[in-house]
A and B are shown apart, each in its own frame.
Chain A
Amino acid sequence: MSSLLKRGQILHGSNTQTAYEIETFLGAGTQGEVYQAKTNGQLVALKCYFPQYIKTDPNCQQRLEKAISKGNPDSNFLWPIELVFTDKTPLFGYVMPLRADHYKSIVDLMKRRIDPGFRELITACLGLVESFLHLHAKGFCYRDINFNNIFLNPQTGDILICDNDNVDVNGVSGAINGTPRFMAPELVRGDAAPCTESDLFSVSVLLFYMLMLHHPLEGKKEADIRCFDQAAMNRLYGNEPVFIFDPRDNSNYPVKGLHDNALTYWPLYPQFIRDLFIRAFTTGINDVQHGRVRENEWRNALIRLRDSMVYCACGAENFYDSEQLKEGQQQVCWSCKQPLIYPPRLRIENTIVMLNHDTRLYLHHIDKTRRFEFSQAAAQVTRHPQDPNRWGLQNLSDQSWTITLTDNTVKTVEPQRTVNLNAGIRINFGSVQAEIRV
């Protein structure tokens, strides 16, 4: 139910004097109400603050002005475009891009109302850490990472970050302390104010939630709590935070029947992902200043995770775990429990990309100067048109590759041509060398 603005009401932008006409009410939060508005035939979202909220957050307008003048860190942010004011009543708010309906909240992900595959899920995680990297690199701090501010397209893994009105320059004191379950322990305890380092903790919590559908600190200690009130939360998330998979302290290990998602998902991911979470929630809890896993580490790990995906014959997505193989353990599919059969793989420098029937390589993989570019495929796995048993890697880039066969013959693979997926073939992409393994 809306209370602040009426359909048809006009608000004017403070920079452009643009007239925004209120159409429908989209929703309310603790700070204000959000409406769909129209300007020159274009739809935008318009947030209007509750007057009683503004009293508790007198810097709100100034903070927004700063965000608007600095501009968005990247296009995943539904960033404030300009401030708006009503004519007579002293209401104010801001305009931002409208979120399309096919973006769903993390709550939908948690309640399994959307169920993306692992690839899309990892892509969403990657999008998040890249966006927060961009935000932090600009000197901003987000302060309020939580389920309700992140949206994803389950078909593609594209993400959007909403509610950017708490964003401020790192170090500036603000009105919002964060959302319980996402707040870093030192914030829960009241020892520190939100900053980039506390955002990093929240990012790790969010990634854990997304990948494991569980909270990293809710194990036996949570099970032992009868009434989950403020005191209990302060203990669990603030005063006695113990990672549920802390290898050196099993006092908070997940309880079967209560924390099944954690027990199901944890062993399913490769060791390098588990190691990163272990660090995020052990060292990352104890060493607030220097112990947290940063976005660039998450980014590398998530790319590696996506490149580790293999399909079992049963159709389930699994992850190649080189560390497990080194220890001589056979990997079995989480779904059908049969031993995993690996497709050919490409060793690129010191990383491995699994070459599945649908694998694509991007500039990120084959050009050292274009790391993290995933917008256009540079190569794809294809099947020989006449011989369905022959698989190859097709050159979709505009550069020729030089390949060296096992007998040291050197050949050229021009754009659109394909190299067979045969063991031992070395591919020179230019700035990057790779080798096919079978």
Chain B
Amino acid sequence: MSGMKRPGGELASRPLHFFWLADCSGSMYGEKIESLNYAIRSAIKPMQDVADDNPNAQVMIRAITFSTGAQWHIAEPVRVEDFKWQDVDADGVTSMGGALKLVAEQLDVSLMPERCLPPVLVMVTDGQPTDDFNAGLKSLMDKPWGKKAVRIAIGIGQDADLDVLQKFIGHNEIKPLHAHNAEDLVNYIRWASTVVLQAASSPASQVKDQVTSGVVPIPQAPEASNPDVDDVW
């Protein structure tokens, strides 16, 4: 080698904004919230690895928690390399609509970079909204970046309102993921933070008959365990 570097920089890439929407209502108290914290912490490294292997995206992460009201858990976009998860607690009711409003505000054209990859929203909940979900969803879908977002939903346990989650997703071909136990939750969270992340930025090999969310093609989700056997919740 001549010892002199070739000119130019890295391959040009675009930002990808990733949002966690975590249900922290009272019904999540105990094992569920601990499992959620554990699942997200366990997904960090795989998520970073996927981002690291991805030359097309700069992944930025934020998080919202919702219980009685919705608030930013991570308000400023954090680069995935620096992403850390502070555990969340459970208490209060389920202001899911409020969470959607909050994320919608940040997806406003004036606050988003001009050129981006589709944002990814991952909602995790065990119940049903106690506030005006439809108003929240409308505010999200009124934003061009909200409409373009890849929306993934994970319902925990028997009380999760899958119909509401289906509405949030907005594409019938993609179903909410139903976690029956802690292991499912870990798998789904990992899937959302790796496979979906990858699909939204540089889709992997296209398998025939892949589900398309309308925004990007989403590979198959992992299969849930048999709900009758080890439903620990």
A residues sitting closer than 8 Å to B (CB atoms) are 1, 29-31, 52-53, 56-57, 105, 107, 110-112, 115-121, 144, 146-148, 155, 166, 175-181, 183, 209, 213-214, 218, 223, 225-230, 258-261, 264-265, 268, 311, 314-317, 334-335
CB <8 Å contact, B54 and A227: no
Residues of A near B56 (CB, < 8 A) are: 181
Which of B26-34, B89-97, B156-164, B209-217 lines the interface with chain A?
A: B209-217
Which of B66-74, B125-133, B200-208 lines the interface with chain A?
A: B200-208
Distance in angstroms from B55 CB to nearest chain A CB is 4
Residue of A nearest to B43 (CB): A1
Instruction: List 23 A-B residue pairs with CB atoms under 8 Å apart, sorted by A's residue number.
Output: A29-B204, A30-B195, A107-B54, A107-B55, A110-B10, A110-B55, A112-B9, A119-B2, A120-B1, A148-B53, A179-B203, A180-B203, A213-B10, A214-B12, A223-B115, A227-B116, A229-B117, A229-B215, A229-B216, A230-B214, A316-B2, A317-B4, A335-B4
CB <8 Å contact, A264 and B8: yes
Contact with A along B1-22 (1 / 0, CB 8 A): 1111111111110100000000
Q: A209-B11, A265-B8 are in contact. List 4 more A-B contacts (CB 8 A).
A: A30-B204, A177-B206, A229-B215, A335-B4
Distance in angstroms from A358 CB to nearest chain B CB is 9
Residue of B nearest to A259 (CB): B12
Contact with A along B38-70 (1 / 0, CB 8 A): 000010001000000111100000000000000
Q: How far is the CA of A438 from the CA of B223 in the complex (A)?
A: 69
Residue of A nearest to B56 (CB): A181
Residues of B near A259 (CB, < 8 A) are: 12
Which of A56, A116, A180, A315 neighbours the largest number of chain B CB atoms within 10 Å of its CB?
A180
Residues of A near B116 (CB, < 8 A) are: 226-228
Interface SS of chain A: helix, strand, loop or mixed? Answer: loop
Residues of B near A176 (CB, < 8 A) are: 205-208
Distance in angstroms from A346 CB to nearest chain B CB is 20
Distance in angstroms from A155 CB to nearest chain B CB is 8
Residues of B near A118 (CB, < 8 A) are: 2, 6
Distance in angstroms from A242 CB to nearest chain B CB is 17
- Given the known A-B contacts A117-B1, A117-B2, A147-B55, are A179 and B206 also in contact in the complex, defined by CB atoms under 8 Å? yes
B residues sitting closer than 8 Å to A (CB atoms) are 1-12, 14, 42, 46, 53-56, 114-118, 144-145, 148, 190, 195, 202-209, 212, 214-217, 219-220, 222-223
Residues of A near B212 (CB, < 8 A) are: 230
Q: How far is the CA of A291 from the CA of B228 in the complex (A)?
A: 58
Distance in angstroms from A167 CB to nearest chain B CB is 13
Q: How far is the CA of A22 from the CA of B214 in the complex (A)?
A: 40
Residues of A near B148 (CB, < 8 A) are: 227, 229
Residue of B nearest to A117 (CB): B1
CB <8 Å contact, B1 and A166: no
Distance in angstroms from A119 CB to nearest chain B CB is 7
CB <8 Å contact, A52 and B223: yes
Q: How far is the CA of A265 from the CA of B14 in the complex (A)?
A: 21
Residues of A near B6 (CB, < 8 A) are: 115, 117-118, 121, 317
Residues of B near A115 (CB, < 8 A) are: 5-6
CB <8 Å contact, A264 and B7: yes
Distance in angstroms from A254 CB to nearest chain B CB is 10
CB <8 Å contact, B12 and A111: no
Distance in angstroms from A146 CB to nearest chain B CB is 7
Distance in angstroms from B116 CB to nearest chain A CB is 6
Residues of B near A30 (CB, < 8 A) are: 195, 204-205, 207, 219
- Given the known A-B contacts A107-B54, A229-B215, are A311 and B204 also in contact in the complex, defined by CB atoms under 8 Å? no
CB <8 Å contact, A56 and B223: no
Residues of B near A177 (CB, < 8 A) are: 205-208
Tell which of A105, A147, A228, A268 touches B14, judged by Cβ atoms closer than 8 Å. Answer: A228
Q: How far is the CA of A251 from the CA of B49 in the complex (A)?
A: 37
Q: How far is the CA of A115 from the CA of B12 in the complex (A)?
A: 16
Residues of A near B54 (CB, < 8 A) are: 107
Distance in angstroms from A140 CB to nearest chain B CB is 17
Residue of A nearest to B14 (CB): A228
Residues of B near A1 (CB, < 8 A) are: 42, 46, 190
Distance in angstroms from A124 CB to nearest chain B CB is 13
Residues of A near B117 (CB, < 8 A) are: 227-229
Distance in angstroms from B208 CB to nearest chain A CB is 6
CB <8 Å contact, A226 and B114: yes
CB <8 Å contact, A178 and B118: no
Residue of A nearest to B53 (CB): A107
Which of B12, B144, B202, B217 neighbours the largest number of chain A CB atoms within 10 Å of its CB?
B12
CB <8 Å contact, A261 and B8: yes
CB <8 Å contact, B7 and A334: yes
- Given the known A-B contacts A179-B204, A228-B116, are A111 and B11 also in contact in the complex, defined by CB atoms under 8 Å? yes
Residues of A near B209 (CB, < 8 A) are: 56
Which of A110, A120, A223 neighbours the largest number of chain B CB atoms within 10 Å of its CB?
A110
Q: How far is the CA of A148 from the CA of B206 in the complex (A)?
A: 14
Tell which of B9, B115, B204, B215 touches A230, judged by Cβ atoms closer than 8 Å. Answer: B215
Q: How far is the CA of A264 from the CA of B144 in the complex (A)?
A: 34
Which of B5, B10, B202, B205 neighbours the largest number of chain A CB atoms within 10 Å of its CB?
B205
CB <8 Å contact, B10 and A178: no
Distance in angstroms from A344 CB to nearest chain B CB is 19
Distance in angstroms from B94 CB to nearest chain A CB is 30
CB <8 Å contact, B11 and A225: no
Q: How far is the CA of A371 from the CA of B206 in the complex (A)?
A: 38
Residues of A near B114 (CB, < 8 A) are: 226
Q: How far is the CA of A116 from the CA of B5 in the complex (A)?
A: 8
Distance in angstroms from B79 CB to nearest chain A CB is 14
CB <8 Å contact, B195 and A229: no
Q: How far is the CA of A181 from the CA of B56 in the complex (A)?
A: 11
Tell which of B7, B115, B206, B215 touches A180, judged by Cβ atoms closer than 8 Å. Answer: B206
Residues of A near B206 (CB, < 8 A) are: 176-180, 183
